[in-house]
Amino acid sequence: MRWSAIEVVSLLLLLFSCPIGAIYADEAYQVDFHHVLLGIPRVETTFFDRPSAASRASLLYTLSEQSVLGAINPKDGSVVWRQQLGNGSGLLKPPAGGNTIISAVNGTVQAWDAAEGRLVWDWTGSEDIKALEVVRGGGTYQGVYIVTQAIGSKATVRKLSEDTGLLVWEHEDESLDTPLGLSVSKEGLHSVALHSALLQGSKIRVTTLQPSSGVSIGSVTLNTDKDISDAGSLVSIESSASQPLLAWSDRSPRNLRLNILGSNHIINAKLAGEKGKDIDKIQIRAASKADGTVDVLVHCQSQASHWAEVYQLNTNSQVLNKVYQLPSLEGSTAFSATVHGDTTYFVRTTEHDVTLFSSASDQSLGQWPLQPKPHDRMIQHRGITHAVSEVVSKGTSKYAVRTAISLSSGDWKLIYNSEESWFRPESLSGVVAAAWANVDGHEDLAEELAVESHSNVAAAYLHRLTRHAKDARRFPSWAKALPDRIVDSLLGREPRSPGKPRDSFGFQKVIVAATCSGRLFALRAGDKGKIIWSVQASEIEPGQRWAVESIEVDKDHALVRVFGGDSLKVSLKQGIIFDNQFGNPTPSPKTNIVLSDTSGTAVSIQVNADGTISIPRSNHLDPNTVVVTQDEKKVIRGWALGDAKPQLAWKFVPGANERIITLATRPANDPIASIGKALGDRNVLYKFLSPNILVIGTVTTDTSLASFYILDSVSGSILHTLTHPNVDANQPISSTLSENWFAYSVFSAFSDDAADTSDDPHASAQSHQLVVSELFESSLPNDRGVLGSSPNSSSLQPFSVGDGPGNSPYVVTQTYIIPAAISFMTVSTTLQGITPRSLLCVVPSLSSVNAIPRAFIDPRRPVGRDAVAAEMEEGLFRHNAVLDFDPKWTLNHMREVLGVQKVITSPSLLESTSLVFAFGSLDMFGTRIAPIGGFDILGKGFNKIQLIGTVAALAIGTGLLAPMARKKQTDMRWRGI
């Protein structure tokens, strides 16, 4: 049987074919990364507990310093749920056999489902909550008790229903004492307050209330004049179902004071301590048992060592007995106490081991040496600040100990006996500045070629030989890894070669960021946000913030500038800090501006608090340079450097009741691919392109009028003005500027003009609005305006060219109603600027980062009619006053991104793709976007094996059919003879 050519080719294609899927598959959760953070945990609001009485497994709960309430799975460290509760310190009470966890932040009390994090109820007052106590188990005692007090007012004790949050009763304290805490015993509800004495020191006043009605039963004042000077002098208030305990120390602190709430008796205990070592600080860890005894561990700390003393308090006889003392150890140590059954356990955690003790003896029940794991090359800090533990007895001598350790760096990890189960880099929260860096050397070859082009022939030839010799040394390793690279590329797998990943498309850029706690770290964007290094760059006092102004990167290092003129440099590859010029990093309006002189050398210009500038005497700056500054009063000035000293060129002063709320400039990397916009009829609208324009937004406090000015930074002239009435200045107002267009968002009513031209009958209502304006040189196509016939122009005289009319831009503006407020906006960036930019917006109410395509906010979209054929060819379509946020625009997809405040972008080596990094007070999120699709890269779904197989099948088929075709042609020729 002879096969025809069509049959052979069809059979080969059938054998090598397979179903073809979409080429550009959704790459969510593959090309992006998200660091889900809770913030630095606090010791008093971190604990293990079961989410319900029926649950057998515990969760790790915390209310962090960033006021984020969350539950952690102790097995793998994943976040079960979390809630952002606002700003400020808070209080937290565990489920303790119930189904809800109670939090109090500022003036709001909230009950959350302990297993799922759903809000059950909330109660809001006008005063700050100073103390919180929760009683469960039924009866008249059950309820949520709080103490509230405003500055300079009396404290109020309230009882809320534990099931609904409704107010049951309230009791107002007649004094102005400072509330310290609440606790419940069988005698009643005890309210502890600090009473200022006439002489130095203070007294502790304990008021007992009836839990069912809030009626005062009695009051006891404890004489602590010589011990307590303020609220910070009190060590702890340990609450328990049997008997609450109040503990403090004298100012030495060598003597421990204990008081069982409800009595006026003070129990004294002299701490033995270690010979020759002073006690700098003590901490109390107490746990009560059902028999009425309380086990107390006193953690004593000196400058270089730590030890502990264990006591047992009989609440009936009020006798305190010392049980044993643990010897001192060098380095940092953390103690935690927990009760399992009828036994109180104490867990001591050091940098080297975890040791378990009971309250009965100093003989350890178990000791496990720690086996630390490396975490993305992070520089570990050994200091342990605090720990919480959970102990489960598995027989007479077997124990399972889980200890969650907080490090001095702010990171968090869990130790299960001797193994480290997980590590959470919570020190990455609170990013104040970030920058993109390229450490993979894509510019190395270009720099090498530039050196050779500027040398003579002999030097260039020698340089090229040296470069080729270096490349030859890397050839064996490159050739050895080549088969693996080919196989990985065909199968779509991640590269198996160790070390730094290859970066053919510029996706492996590094993000350098600084946190408010004084840390610097670097992430690799293309490797799921992997931490390259993390270091403590500056020691920040508690309650202070590292006021980083900017981060500037070059090939090998990053320069971190701090408000006040301080700076430091850090190596991008190793994270090594050098050239540290830090003093006390305190926030200050004084800063520096760095410019390049005529020789390319960086010159630092000091900006003073009053907005003036100081230039070094020996500099070679271009005298035509204009520097724009802003002082403490928000006055914007333009300074012409000149030949001798800087001269004030112009000044923008807000009105008497006007304040500047936003200021936008063009990005440093804002390439322009075309000077005009090609229309559908092949005509051109020329863009108004100027690197010197600013967008200044102001709001008047008396009339709520928002004004946005387009200002020329060289001459100080206002090119265009937009106004909005009835603006709510308490809502976020943001703006951005790129190429020849700018955008801003406000919460206001539509203007009359916009309402008249809008299709929406409710356009006059107040709403969140997005305003987009585009600047052109003329309203007519193919017209350059007055600049078209002018031989030259001047930035110092933008409104007059010779004796002709002004050359102010032609502005096209359009307003859109959006569903939520935008707190920050910027634009995507590509290598050549050919790809249309997307508007990147941070939407706090949706916990998302959105990328709005440029086509949807084009101000030239036709209003009140459908687009004609020429407009449709441009990509324009009918304008709609309401712009809904399409779910496809949400970059974080189903993720919940909390605390994002800013977004920075960077171009990749592909024109289609832009890199995006979002950061702020909590989470970090990074991804890459292609505004009009990845037209210059194959998708991950592209089947390379199928392509090679198809080509091979065609080659084989061609090879098989070629002799047959030649034979057929030969036979036909013989028949024709």
- Is the pLDDT reported for residue 374 higher than 70? no
Strand order in the sheet with 156-160: 128-135, 143-149, 156-160, 167-172
Average pLDDT over residues 64-93: 92
User: Is residue 88 very low, low, confident or very high in pLDDT (cuts 50, 70, 90)?
Assistant: confident
Q: Which segment, 37-51, 178-192, 391-405, is predicted with the most confidence on average?
A: 37-51
CA 568, 569, 572, 574 torsion-angle sign:
negative
pLDDT of 162:
92
Question: What is the rounded CA–CA span in Å between residue 30 and residue 25?
Answer: 11
| Percentage, residues of the chain above pLDDT 90 | 42
What number of H helices and E strands is found in the chain? Answer: 6, 63
Judge whether residue 857 has pLDDT over 70.
yes
- pLDDT tens digits, one per residue of 98-120: 899 999 998 899 999 999 999 99
Both structure tokens of 575: 């994270």
Q: Which of 292, 374, 361, 354 minimizes the C-alpha distance to 326?
A: 361
**63-74 average pLDDT score:** 94
Average pLDDT over residues 214-233: 76
Q: For the whole model, what pTM was predicted?
A: 0.87
The C-alpha angle with vertex 661 and arms to 658 and 662, in degrees rounded to 5, equals 135
DSSP 277-314: ----EEEEEEEE-TTSEEEEEEEEE-SSEEEEEEEEEE
Q: How far is CA 765 from CA 353, 444, 707, 751, 754, in A?
A: 65, 57, 19, 10, 12
- Residue 748 scores a pLDDT above 80: yes
920-944: pLDDT as tens digits: 999 999 999 999 888 888 777 778 8
pLDDT confidence band for 594 (50 / 70 / 90): confident
pLDDT at 23: 31
Say what the pLDDT of residue 587 is.
45
| pLDDT value at 480 more than 90 | no
Which residue has better confidence, 171 or 290?
Answer: 171
d(CA 21, CA 282) in angstroms, rounded, equals: 66
754 pLDDT higher than 50: no
Please, what is the average pLDDT of the chain? 84
Phi, psi of 396 (to 5 degrees): -75, -30
Mean pLDDT to the nearest integer, 791-813: 64
Q: What percent of the chain has pLDDT over 70?
A: 85
Phi, psi of 351 (to 5 degrees): -75, -10
3-state secondary structure of 621: coil
What distance, in Å, lies between the first and last C-alpha atoms of the chain? Answer: 28
pLDDT of residue 630: 84
The string of pLDDT tens digits covering residues 804-845 is 445 689 999 999 999 999 999 999 999 999 999 999 999 999
H or E segment to which residue 964 belongs: helix 944-976
How far apart (Å, rounded) are the C-alpha atoms in residues 824 and 919? 11
Q: How far apart are CA 908 and CA 830, in angstroms?
A: 7
With cut-offs at 50, 70 and 90, classify the pLDDT of residue 732: very high
What is the average per-residue pLDDT within 329-354? 87
Q: What pLDDT is recorded for position 795? A: 60
The dihedral over CA atoms of 242, 166, 95, 115, expressed in degrees to the nearest 10, equals 170
| Residue 163 pLDDT level (bands cut at 50, 70, 90) | very high
Average pLDDT, integer, range 728-733: 92
d(CA 92, CA 436): 39
Q: Exposure of 69 by Cβ count < 10 A (0-12 exposed, 13-18 middle, 19+ buried)?
A: buried
- Report the side by side order of strands in the sheet with 178-185: 178-185, 188-196, 202-209, 216-222
Averaged over 600-619, what is the pLDDT? Answer: 75
State residue 77's pLDDT score: 94
670 pLDDT above the threshold of 50? yes
3-state SS, residue 482: helix
pLDDT exceeds 90 at position 714: no
Predicted confidence (pLDDT) per residue in 349-371, tens digit: 988 899 999 988 989 999 999 87
pLDDT band for position 313 (50/70/90)?
Answer: confident
* pLDDT of 144: 95
Tell me the per-residue pLDDT of 417-462, one tens digit each, with 9 for 90 and over: 988 899 999 999 999 999 999 876 555 666 677 777 767 888 888 8
CA distance 152 to 150: 6
